[in-house]
Amino acid sequence: MTTVPTSLNKNQLPDGLKTPALFQLINWIARPFEYLEEYTEKYGDIFTMRLFGFPPLVFIANPQGIKEIFSADAQCFDVGRTNDLARPILGDNSILLMDGTRHKRERKLLMPPFHGERVKSYGESICKITEQVASHWEIDQPFIARNASQEITLKVIMETVFGFSEGAKCEQLRSLLAQWLEITASPARSSFIFLKFLQIDLGAWSPWGNFIRTKQKIYDLLQAEIEDRRTNPEKLGNDILSLMLSVTDEDGQLMTDDQLKDELITLLVAGHETTATALAWAFYWLEKLPKVKEKLLQEIDRLGKNPDPIEISRLPYLTAVCQETLRLYPIVPIAMARLAKQDVEIMGRKFESGTTFIPCIYSTHHREDLYPNSKQFKPERFLERQYTPYEFIPFGGGIRLCLGYALAMLEMKLVIASIISKYNLELADNKPIKPMRRGGTLTPSNGVPLVLKGFRSSC
């Protein structure tokens, strides 16, 4: 990275490319990783990107700067307000769109099922769901890793949110969600998320028309489930929907159906797309780099037959493989935007209230001073060095740290261990795989085609 001037007058934003804002937006949608590399090459670890339809965005890929943002007082930055792009997908009542006390209260409500002992208790069902999905694979029949992992992660999040992951209701919701998310599954199709003028309903066959109609069908199913539980309280269980149905706010009010539906869809979407993609990347690296897979298998085999999920989750090399997967091609290239509500000082520079900052996950994860040969997949780096929460940031940080990070890490570890310890997989072809935009996430371009070659004799 090149060095940049150390001081700026208040109001003067860091440098950035002078190309037209529409051109910058197209680059950001179509080739985000390459574009970030061009920026860091030219401007270092703080720069301003100007995207059509957005305020100037100050990108930060410097651990000190990221620390200053993540550890700032909740009063300093708004985040929900900057998430307008997510509104048509997740609705007005999504935690992603909240700020201040409302956000704090919502996190307090949703956090317990995703942390501590509760998360550990999902271990058995993650392994069971993985086994169910993998049992359909046939020898020499190629399949797409991302589709298989999406089936697993969607079932896991449904189990967490609704308390069930099987049956007709579940299948209907699962297939509608998959169909809905597929509508944004390429850079071109992601465009209507970024460009509001493309959000016009020209009937069921137009992309936006299809998007809103499919979403309505999902909301109808969620509504039916909410009504069923409200009228049959004996169906309330230990799941998140039951929890949300029973909680009241400070005025004693229950959550409304609209609030419930937006929050359910947020958890269902945020809770499975990302983890599914992370798993697809992990399988790609493991099949691409046999030495890494061999070392991982040795570690897993040392636990003996039918190991406890908790023991699996503590394995150091497995943890490092998951971390390196999330580092090299972070599923979400940037954390959510932070809008300064007051004048702030970041990296010794003064910025006015109203400046928007983007903690840049991808560029931080490719700093050569932190991650030498950063394009190489090398899990050992996580065993040799302890990274701070401002250097390794796949789940963002501070008060907006990903709500599901503990569940995501547990899922990655258990799915990988369950599969590689039992199935002999190979890449189905040698075509190069590149990261490609899928809505707000970056996914392997061809979903990683794999083929089952047999079963491991140790099982």
The pair of three-digit structure tokens given for residue 239, joined into one six-digit string:
């799941």
Q: Which is nearer to ligand HEM, 104 or 136 (CB)?
A: 104
From residue 317 to residue 336, the character string flagging contacts with ligand HEM as x (rule: CB under 6 A) and all else as - is ---------x----xx--xx
DSSP-derived secondary structure for 406-431: HHHHHHHHHHHHHHHTTEEEEES---
**List 48, 62, 149, 275, residue binding ligand HEM (CB under 6 A):** 275
What distances in angstroms separate CA 383 from CA 100, 242, 294, 318, 330, one per listed residue? 38, 40, 17, 11, 19
> For residues 361 and 278, is the Cβ–Cβ distance under 8 A?
no
Residues 362-401 binding ligand HEM (CB under 6 A) are 394-397, 400-401
- Least separation in angstroms between residue 266's CB and ligand HEM is 6
Among 14, 16, 32, 271, binds ligand HEM (CB under 6 A): 271
Report whether 410 contacts 123 (CB < 8 A).
Answer: yes
CA distances from 63 to 257, 330, 363 (A): 41, 16, 11
**Residue 407 touches ligand HEM, criterion: CB under 6 A:** yes
By beta-carbon proximity to ligand HEM, the closer residue of 26 and 45 is 45
Complex with ligand HEM: residue 222 or 402, whichever CB lies closer: 402
Interaction with ligand HEM in 64-123: which residues (CB under 6 A)? 95-96, 107, 114
- The least distance separating ligand HEM from the CB of residue 412, rounded to whole angstroms, comes to 7
β-strand 57-60 against 46-49: which pairing, if any? antiparallel
Q: Which of these segments, 134-142, 173-181, 210-218, 402-410, binds ligand HEM (CB under 6 A)? A: 402-410
Near ligand HEM by CB under 6 A: residue from 49, 296, 408, 419: 408
DSSP string, 138-199: -BT-EEEHHHHHHHHHHHHHHHHHHS---SHHHHHHHHHHHHHHHTT-SHHHHHHHH-GGG-
Q: How far is the CB of 323 from ligand HEM (least distance, A)?
A: 11
Contact 14, 380 (CB under 8 A): no
**What number of chain residues touch ligand HEM (CB under 6 A)?**
27
Of residues 300, 402, 410, 428, which one binds ligand HEM by CB under 6 A?
402
SS3 370: coil
Q: How far is the CB of 231 from ligand HEM (least distance, A)?
A: 27
Choose the stretch contacting ligand HEM; rule: CB under 6 A; options: 9-17, 85-93, 122-130, 265-273: 265-273
C-alpha–C-alpha distance, residues 85 and 97, integer Å: 10
Token output for 21: 């804002």
DSSP labels for 380-410? THHHH----TTTS-TT--GGGS-TTHHHHHH
- Interacting residues with ligand HEM (CB under 6 A): 95-96, 107, 114, 266-267, 270-271, 274-275, 278, 326, 331-332, 335-336, 394-397, 400-404, 407-408
